Amino acid sequence: MHTIGSRVLGFTQELFNDSRTVDPEMQAIMLRELAGKYPYVVEIAGAASHEGESVVGPGCDDQFEFEFALDLLLDGFERLRHAESLETTKIAESTG
């Protein structure tokens, strides 16, 4: 589930390293505003964050995880498309 995690919901965490320092007070204000407008996005983002004890090895391989999750999703979509195509063919043959 970690591999798909937030990607299914439309975002990838830690996509880039933004090393700029943000004032903690400003960060708290921004988080409160975001939580007020999008409470469930904040809840999901908090739940999906990497915790030190949950990281395997020196860190996550985000590129590998992204590609793996994308392959899973695309394979699933292809199976659904194929199943729908078979169903349409069966219906056409039975009414034809």
**CA-to-CA separations, 15 to 8, 31, 39, in angstroms, rounded:** 15, 19, 22
Give the orientation angle of helix 24-37 with respect to helix 39-47, to 10 degrees: 120
**Domain housing 42:** 1-9+21-50
Residue 55 included in any domain: no
CA pair distance 94, 31, nearest whole angstrom: 57
Q: What is the pLDDT of residues 18-52, one digit of tens each?
A: 667 889 999 899 989 999 999 988 887 777 665 55
- Is 4:42 a contact under the CB 8 Å cutoff? no
Residue 87 included in any domain: yes
Residues 1 and 43 in one domain: yes
Q: What is the pLDDT of residues 65-86, one digit of tens each?
A: 778 888 988 999 999 999 888 8
